[in-house]
Amino acid sequence: MKRFTSLFAALVLGLGIQFSAAANTVAPDVLVKSVSDDVISIVRQDKAIQSGDTRKAVTLVETKVLPYFDFAHMTRLAVGKDWKQASADQKSVLTHEFKTLLVRTYSNALTKYRDQQIDFEPLKAKPEDSDVIVRTKVRQAGAKPVQIDYNLEKQGDNWKVYDVLVAGVSLVTNYRDEFGQEVRAGGIDGLIKSLKDKNTRLDPTTAAKK
């Protein structure tokens, strides 16, 4: 898990995917690259983020990333079969807490960005496809390239990310075993409590007070 989350610094640079009504005429990989370049540029120029300002990194993630992810879909995938036993209120809380966990994890890792380069592979998709994979490789000096793939689903005129694979490992299903253990130990409420505890530990305002 530690190695998996350490890749988020590079991963988050490709997550600010701004798909607009023009998405049906612009290839998803072109849009991903355009916004990825924008985010990289911001991080390279922002000394505060580079110095570990997680709160500023959170703001960047919330601005560039959150609107373009289907967190409800991601949470359903992460919780797996146990999702069916959750009430409507519990599903809402789970989605909120999982979203918060991902944002804070990404933001912490973003402060560790150190000039990684992102290569984009040609998009293999048909014009009528509504579910595509944008494949990239992240390169860093002295390290083996890491494959990072984005699963996107077209919703109306917009595309939204519902999973990310890092070196072939699904981001959302990577949590499934852990979440399953929490549910078996304490039910859905136990999983919610665990997520809230993690989010408290990752809260940049809490870290600042310490």
Interval 98-125 mean pLDDT: 85
Q: What is the pLDDT of residue 11?
A: 53
**Per-residue pLDDT at 146 exceeds 80:** yes
Query: What is the H or E stretch that residue 32 is in?
Result: helix 28-45
**CB-based contact 114:61 (threshold 8 Å):** no
Distance CA 31, CA 28 (A): 5
Domain that holds residue 114: 2-209
Q: How far apart are the first and last CA of the chain?
A: 25
> What is the value of pTM for the model shown?
0.81
Distance CA 74, CA 184 (A): 20
Number of domains making up the chain: 1
Q: What is the pLDDT of residue 26?
A: 57
Higher pLDDT among residues 49 and 193, named by residue: 193
User: If you write DSSP's letter for every residue of 115-149 in order, what string do you get?
Assistant: --EEEEPPP---TT-SEEEEEEEEE-TTS--EEEE
CATH number for the domain harbouring residue 110: 3.10.450.710
Q: What is the pLDDT of residue 127?
A: 85
